[in-house]
Amino acid sequence: MHGDERDVWADGRRGEHGNHPRGPRRGYYLLDTGDFYGMGHNEMLIGRALHFQREQVVLSVKFGAQRAPNGAWLGFDARPVAMKSALAYSLKRLGVEYIDIYRPSRLDPNVPIEETIGAIAEMVKAGYVRYIGLSEVGRRQSGGRRRYIQSWICRLNMRW
């Protein structure tokens, strides 16, 4: 991890400062996780930490990675129906009514990006998501749809 995200833990275990409810007082206000980190366990830990300070943090969640019961990688699914299901489970595990930034962890080559972003936009309108983000998406991956995509995106997370 990099920058101010260094204290957010992908595997749900205690990190340098621990997954601690005093996080915002220690200066980390962005919690960046994925529904597949620890196969949902990380979201449950974050949910416990957030229960009394939800408005003090920006909660960013990636979705789409598919895992087998043994944790093996199965692929990626950004179909609208899969996104809505993943969002429902994330909201439940986190114990929140909305997620500040919701984004696919990468582009699904089998699903047009407009479908994925459009489905998340529906969740914005319904109040379950505040903003849309993208991960691991560059100019080449977004193709000629860049203007459409930019009109919705608030955060872009790239590999360095």
Residue type, position 112, single letter: P
Residue type, position 117, single letter: I
Q: How far apart are CA 26 and CA 81, in angstroms?
A: 38
Q: How far apart are CA 22 and CA 53, in angstroms?
A: 9
**Catalytic annotation present for 37:** yes
Kindly name the residue from 37, 89, 128, 148 that is annotated as catalytic.
37
| Residues 6 or more apart whose Cβ sits within 8 Å of residue 60 | 30, 31, 32, 33, 99, 100, 101, 102, 103, 133, 155
Task: Give the DSSP H/E element, type plus range, for residue 154.
Answer: strand 153-157
Active site (catalytic) residues: 37
